[in-house]
């Protein structure tokens, strides 16, 4: 992504109470509409306790989201299809990792879709365990030490 285009995307912390509709719209567009995940599996009831991050374009339109739970779990990370392959997912991931480190977490972990595992490997995560199915999609558990 050229530096000018990268600069047009901002990553902000988003309060669930104020921006939950926008956050869920992005997640539903990717996981429910694109990937066929049942809507009841996309909403796990933990969003109110999580830190959320929102990627905004130059017009402040939400284009991506990430979540960080209290136990160090990151995810889901979701970027609208028209904005993929621009480094936005990595920037959302980095923001979640930095926030976990700042609050004193010693490690972070996630369930990566197999297709996305290289993103996480490049970001310093390592595979833990075997592949498994989650919401009908192959995943792998990954973690990263923050110490």
Domain assignment present for residue 75? The answer is: yes
Number of domains into which the chain is organized: 1
Domain assignment present for residue 123? The answer is: no
- Does residue 106 surpass a pLDDT of 50? yes
Task: Give the pLDDT confidence score for residue 147 in this predicted structure.
Answer: 83
Q: Measuring CA to CA, which residue among 45, 77, 48, 47 is closest to residue 63?
A: 77
Domain assignment present for residue 114? The answer is: no
Domain assignment present for residue 62? The answer is: yes
Band (pLDDT 50/70/90 cuts) for residue 7 is low
Band (pLDDT 50/70/90 cuts) for residue 23 is very high
Q: What is the CATH number of the domain that holds 15?
A: 3.40.630.30
* Size (the chain), residues: 147
What are all long-range contacts of 84-88, with beta carbons under 8 Å and residues at least 24 apart?
86/1, 86/5, 86/6, 86/9, 87/1, 87/6, 88/9, 88/55, 88/63, 88/64
Three-state secondary structure of 3-42: HHHHHCCEEEEECHHHHHHHHHHHHHHHHHHHCCCCHHHH
Percentage of residues of the chain with pLDDT beyond 90: 85
Band (pLDDT 50/70/90 cuts) for residue 38 is confident
The upper half-sphere exposure of residue 137, i.e. CA atoms within 13 Å in the direction of its Cβ, equals 20
Band (pLDDT 50/70/90 cuts) for residue 130 is very high
Structural domain containing residue 77: 3-105
Domain assignment present for residue 101? The answer is: yes
pTM of this structure: 0.92
Domain assignment present for residue 141? The answer is: no
Task: Give whole-number Cα distances, 85 to 21, 36, 43, 59, 80, in Å.
Answer: 25, 21, 26, 19, 10
Domain assignment present for residue 43? The answer is: yes
Band (pLDDT 50/70/90 cuts) for residue 76 is very high
């Amino acid at each position: 992504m050229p530096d000018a285009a990268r600069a047009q995307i901002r990553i902000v912390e988003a309060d669930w109470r104020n921006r939950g509709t926008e956050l869920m719209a992005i997640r539903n567009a990717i996981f429910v509409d694109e990937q066929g995940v049942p809507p009841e599996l996309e909403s796990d009831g933990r969003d109110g306790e999580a830190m959320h991050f929102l990627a905004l374009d130059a017009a402040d339109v939400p284009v991506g989201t990430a979540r960080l739970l209290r136990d160090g779990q990151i995810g889901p990370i979701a970027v609208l299809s028209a904005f993929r392959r621009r480094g936005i997912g990595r920037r959302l991931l980095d923001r979640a990792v930095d926030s976990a480190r700042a609050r004193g977490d010693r490690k972070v972990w996630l369930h990566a879709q197999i297709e996305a595992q290289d993103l996480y490997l490049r970001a310093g995560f390592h595979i833990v365990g075997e592949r498994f199915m989650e919401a009908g999609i192959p995943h792998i558990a990954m973690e990263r030490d923050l110490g």
